[in-house]
């Protein structure tokens, strides 16, 4: 018995180390940079933003009530403090630690819900293979970490039913979590939905006579209700309704595949996502086979998270970290005494751990090995273009590629402000940006209106591979001159004030495009 436990602990340590390595690759998320810039602003100025300091296109009407401006302030400050402590490697360490802690929390939840060690280990490794694709350096990391802990608090409060000091400690923990979470990431809305779904299912059980009601149950509901209300005490809580619209909105599909559903990703972009579909099938099997024996609140939460993951790719981690431990707990409860189920669990655990370890070894050159030589993913960010601008200081407003706005803002502010970044604080600028890229009749007038004399662009759309029409427009326009280019970026200048730079570096525009 002790030997089996030791083997189980060793296998878990190996799987955790492999997942940690997968999460330790170079920084790659385009949105990281405006989060860092915002965190630095909050830390240095000790106040919230009342205007957008990083773009020159956002007016006061755009800023009023915009939840993205101050909506992640606490998460952004934590990320900036990690950067202050250890530079870019501090962000990598923070990401790896939070992701691994979240997955370990999911493992412990599986065990709490009755899963055997082998089954929990199999789920840990299988989920880790898919979760490694969600390592973007954003405040969403904190939502991943908090989500399984929220469910544990609800379970503890439900089981305690208003008795003793432990109940009060768990109630205080839930209250504090829901007060702080809105300042970390708007994933608090999914947490609030989880509380509502869980509590609603418990109410139905009481109405059906499956659970006892009375004062203890009323205490549980009171804590749940007060915790939901506590989100409004955050500076961002009053904007919850607009956050719901942003969280579920599909208008950003053109910017990133993360807004698409897994079905659309498979049909439109050829993403197989075989691991996701296999795990979703496991969740569906748990729902089908355990609906007579499992608790209604567990079934309701699993159904909610499965549907959420089908709505959008970016919601898949919530299913992995909470929905699948619930599914495994339901399956384990049904076949707890089955020797065949135990053998299958052990075989699955061995296979999943080996696959996770193999993935970490095979990907070492792209993850941990790559970050040791350069903390930023190569070919991802316009480092050369930013260096050129800071070294030569051209004059005028700058138009930039949407994906690079955050990085350029981080590198060039306060000397320059960008046209647009991942926050899209100005709907008008976002509309004009699309016309600049594709509309030859309009692009010149728009650039003139904004006083743009500097353009930093990539030649091709990173999602479709299609060359931007703007590249051709600028090549045919005699007032624009390419003064810098490398493998991924191009810098164009115009204007009398930049004539000396154009004369010095205009040769960069000659020859074939990169």
CA–chain centroid gap for 171, Å, is: 28
Closest to 200 in 3D by CA, of 220, 230, 175, 177: 220
Q: Where are the alpha helices (DSSP H) in 64-116?
A: 67-70, 73-112
Give the integer Cα–Cα distance in Å for 349 and 331: 15
What radius of gyration, in Å, describes the C-alpha atoms of the chain? 25
Please, are residues 24 and 371 in contact by the beta-carbon 8 Å criterion?
Answer: yes
Please, are residues 226 and 176 in contact by the beta-carbon 8 Å criterion?
Answer: no
At residue 376, φ and ψ (nearest 5 deg) are -105, 140
Checking if the pLDDT of 74 tops 70, the result is yes
Checking if the pLDDT of 149 tops 60, the result is yes
**Interval 70-87 mean pLDDT:** 96
CATH topology of domain 383-509: Rossmann fold (3.40.50)
Share of the chain above pLDDT 90, in %: 74
Helix 140-160 with 164-184: angle, nearest 10 deg = 160
| Tokens coding 337 | 């005494």
Please, are residues 428 and 407 in contact by the beta-carbon 8 Å criterion?
Answer: no
The least confident of 6-15, 116-125, 235-244, 403-412 is 235-244
The least confident of 29-38, 53-62, 143-152, 230-239 is 230-239
| Cβ atoms < 10 Å from Cβ of 296 | 18
Q: What's the pLDDT tens digit per position in 251-273?
A: 554 456 788 899 988 888 778 88
CA torsion 408-411-414-416 (nearest 10°) is -40
Any idea which residue has 């006892």 for tokens?
212
Which residues, in sequence order, are bridge partners of residue 418? 55
**Interval 494-499 mean pLDDT:** 95
Residue 253: predicted pLDDT:
46
Give the integer Cα–Cα distance in Å for 198 and 192: 10
Give the integer Cα–Cα distance in Å for 395 and 233: 44
Q: Which residues contact 6 (CB under 8 A, 6 or more apart)?
A: none
Residue 332: predicted pLDDT:
82
Per-domain residue ranges for the chain? 2-30+71-369, 383-509
Checking if the pLDDT of 122 tops 80, the result is yes
Q: What's the pLDDT tens digit per position in 223-253?
A: 999 999 988 776 666 565 555 555 555 455 4
Prediction pTM value: 0.93
Residue 254: predicted pLDDT:
46
How far, in Å, are 156, 157, 204, 300 from residue 210 at the CA level? 18, 17, 9, 15
């Amino acid at each position: 018995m002790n030997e089996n436990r030791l083997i189980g602990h060793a296998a878990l340590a190996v799987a955790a180390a492999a997942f940690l390595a997968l999460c330790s690759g170079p920084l790659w998320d385009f949105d990281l940079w405006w989060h860092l810039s915002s965190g630095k602003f909050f830390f240095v100025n000790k106040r919230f933003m009342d205007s957008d300091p990083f773009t020159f296109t956002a007016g006061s009407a755009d800023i009023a009530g915009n939840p993205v401006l101050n909506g992640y302030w606490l998460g952004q400050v934590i990320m900036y403090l990690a950067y202050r402590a250890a530079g870019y490697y501090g962000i990598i360490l923070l990401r790896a630690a939070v992701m691994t802690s979240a997955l370990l929390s999911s493992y412990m939840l599986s065990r709490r819900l009755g899963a055997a060690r082998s089954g929990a280990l199999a789920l840990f490794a299988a989920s880790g293979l898919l979760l490694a694709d969600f390592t973007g350096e954003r405040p969403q990391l904190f939502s991943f970490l908090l989500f399984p802990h929220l469910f544990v608090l609800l379970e503890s409060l439900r089981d305690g039913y208003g008795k003793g000091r432990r109940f009060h400690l768990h109630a205080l923990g839930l209250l504090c979590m829901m007060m702080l979470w809105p300042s970390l990431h708007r994933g608090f809305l999914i947490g609030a939905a989880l509380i509502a779904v869980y509590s609603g299912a418990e109410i139905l059980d009481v109405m059906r006579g499956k659970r006892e009601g009375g004062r203890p149950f009323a205490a549980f509901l009171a804590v749940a209700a007060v915790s939901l209300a506590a989100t409004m005490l955050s500076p961002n809580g009053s904007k919850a309704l607009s956050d719901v619209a942003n969280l579920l909105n599909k208008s950003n599909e053109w910017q990133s595949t993360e807004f698409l559903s897994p079905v659309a990703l498979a049909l439109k972009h050829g993403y197989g996502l075989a691991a996701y579909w296999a795990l979703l099938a496991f969740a569906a099997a748990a729902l089908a086979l355990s609906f007579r024996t499992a608790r209604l609140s567990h079934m309701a939460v699993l159904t909610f998270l499965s549907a959420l993951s089908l709505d959008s790719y970016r919601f898949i981690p919530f299913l992995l970290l909470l929905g699948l431990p619930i599914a495994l707990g339901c399956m384990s409860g049904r076949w707890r005494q089955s020797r065949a189920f135990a053998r299958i669990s052990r075989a699955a655990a061995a296979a999943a751990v080996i696959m996770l370890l193999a993935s970490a070894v095979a990907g070492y050159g792209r993850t941990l090995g790559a970050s040791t030589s350069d903390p930023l993913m190569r070919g991802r960010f316009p480092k050369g273009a930013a260096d050129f601008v800071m070294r030569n200081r051209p004059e005028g407003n700058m138009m930039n590629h949407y994906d690079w706005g955050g990085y350029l803002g981080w590198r060039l502010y306060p000397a320059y402000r960008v046209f647009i970044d991942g926050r899209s604080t100005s709907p008008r600028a976002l509309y004009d940006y699309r016309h600049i890229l594709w509309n030859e009749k309009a692009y010149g007038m728009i650039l003139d209106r904004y006083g743009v004399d500097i353009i930093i662009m990539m030649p091709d759309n990173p999602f479709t591979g299609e060359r931007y029409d703007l590249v051709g427009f600028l090549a045919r326009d005699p007032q624009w001159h390419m003064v810098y280019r490398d493998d991924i970026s191009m810098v164009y200048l115009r204007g009398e004030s930049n004539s000396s730079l154009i004369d010095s570096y205009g040769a960069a525009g000659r020859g074939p495009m990169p």
